[in-house]
């Protein structure tokens, strides 16, 4: 299981120093940063998170690992849902507004028609992302919480299969936008801003890809197992 990278006995500080993007995982799980020499296991346990969940989220987020993940239980679901909700806040309140800010700054420095196309494309994309997250926040996640409480109304009125059908890979359209930027954005745009924009979009795409993997490989299988208990 990726033993060459790190495990539950690795010092958490070493993981953050080696992989700075791991900070997002710690933030979304509300883990402390006064780490000292604490291991991954100790940091997770003290915060009420299972070491297996923390390791899974780190490996999916940093390496997009999809196989050989540590075994999780239904008791991990509240932390997973909370993690995904915190991810939504980051995308909606930080990542997409920052990208739009860069796009508009470019617009102030150019007369290129391509810029208007890029801005319109991203605004439409942002609306689609917001709709996707609204569905998860208002329908799917409350259902999972009701399911864990043993609510018969939850079990009779919904299924995680509907969530799977609604679940589209929204990061794909970011690739289209990157393609547009590289192939068609005019040379008159300041290179510094184009670099900032391209990197910001790339990082968001990587984060969204990990987000989708967490939902498909971690969240949905656990919910399906919980649903199966009620069908026996």
| Lookup: tokens for 133 | 């997250």
Residue 4 lies in a domain: no
Per-residue pLDDT tens for 88-129?
999 999 999 999 999 999 888 777 777 788 889 899 999 988
Q: Which of 26, 42, 63 is the last residue of a domain?
A: 63
How many domains are contained in the chain? Answer: 2
One domain for residues 58 and 78: no
Residue 44 lies in a domain: yes
One domain for residues 148 and 88: yes
Q: Which of 40, 63, 86 is the last residue of a domain?
A: 63
Residue 95 lies in a domain: yes
One domain for residues 117 and 163: yes
One domain for residues 51 and 105: no
One domain for residues 87 and 26: no
| Reported pTM | 0.90
pLDDT at 187: 57
Give every residue of the chain whose pLDDT is below 50, as ranges: 1-3
One domain for residues 82 and 42: no
83: closest CA among 57, 112, 48?
A: 57
pLDDT at 1: 45
| Whether the Cβ atoms of residue 103 and residue 197 lie closer than 8 Å to each other | yes
pLDDT at 69: 84
One domain for residues 179 and 219: yes
**C-alpha span between 145 and 219 (Å, rounded):** 12
């Amino acid at each position: 299981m990726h033993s060459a990278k790190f495990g539950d006995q690795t010092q958490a500080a070493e993981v953050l120093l080696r992989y700075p993007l791991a900070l997002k995982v710690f933030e979304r799980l509300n883990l402390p940063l006064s780490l000292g020499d604490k291991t991954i296991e100790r940091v997770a346990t003290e915060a009420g998170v299972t070491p297996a969940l923390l390791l899974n989220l780190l490996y999916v987020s940093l390496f997009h690992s999809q196989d050989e993940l540590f075994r999780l239980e239904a008791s991990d679901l509240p932390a997973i849902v909370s993690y995904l909700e915190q991810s939504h806040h980051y995308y909606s309140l930080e990542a997409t507004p920052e990208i739009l800010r860069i796009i508009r700054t470019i617009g102030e420095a150019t007369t290129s028609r391509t810029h208007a196309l890029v801005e319109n494309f991203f605004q439409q994309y942002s609306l689609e992302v917001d709709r996707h997250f609204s569905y998860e926040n208002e329908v799917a996640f409350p259902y999972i919480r009701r399911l864990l409480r043993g609510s018969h109304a939850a079990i009779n009125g919904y299924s995680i299969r509907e969530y799977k059908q609604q679940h589209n890979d929204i990061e794909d359209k970011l690739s289209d936008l990157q393609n547009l930027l590289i192939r068609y954005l005019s040379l008159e745009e300041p290179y510094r801003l184009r670099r900032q924009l391209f990197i910001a979009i790339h990082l968001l795409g990587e984060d969204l890809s990990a987000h989708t993997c967490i939902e498909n490989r971690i969240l949905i299988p656990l919910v399906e197992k919980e649903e199966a208990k009620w069908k026996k």
